[in-house]
């Protein structure tokens, strides 16, 4: 949280986050993702989020990209990716 706060002090137009949920308790992860969503919606901040918790990331994202060995294998709106059978089975742990 401290690093996130420091990053926001300069009022950036783009915030790049790499695994902000790593190693945190689930309740804290929910709070961080709510804060990320609020920064995007309220402040208009563009956010590039890299996250292994794909379900959580897609719940707040506008678009999603799935990478395999450095290549984009799926790209769509977050809603379409959440509803895509292939994506749900292969990347979201469903099925």
pLDDT band at residue 74, thresholds of 50, 70 and 90?
Answer: very high
pLDDT tens, residue by residue, 26-48: 999 999 999 999 999 999 999 99
Distance, in Å, from the CA atom of 90 to the CA atom of 95, rounded to the nearest integer, reads 8
**Quick one: which of 82, 74, 75, 80 has its CA closest to 56?**
82
Q: Is the pLDDT of residue 94 over 80?
A: no
| Predicted TM-score (pTM) of this structure | 0.83
CATH code linked to domain 14-90: 3.40.50.300
For the chain, the structural domain boundaries read 14-90
pLDDT band at residue 18, thresholds of 50, 70 and 90?
Answer: very high
């Amino acid at each position: 949280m401290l690093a996130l706060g420091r990053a926001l002090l300069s009022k950036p137009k783009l915030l790049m986050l790499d695994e902000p949920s790593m190693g945190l308790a689930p309740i804290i992860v929910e709070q961080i993702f709510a804060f990320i969503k609020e920064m995007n919606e309220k402040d208009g901040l563009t956010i590039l989020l890299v996250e292994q918790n794909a379900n959580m990331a897609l719940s707040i994202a506008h678009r999603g990209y799935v990478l395999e060995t450095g290549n984009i294998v799926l790209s769509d709106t977050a809603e379409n990716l959440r509803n895509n059978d292939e994506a749900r089975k292969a990347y979201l742990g469903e099925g």
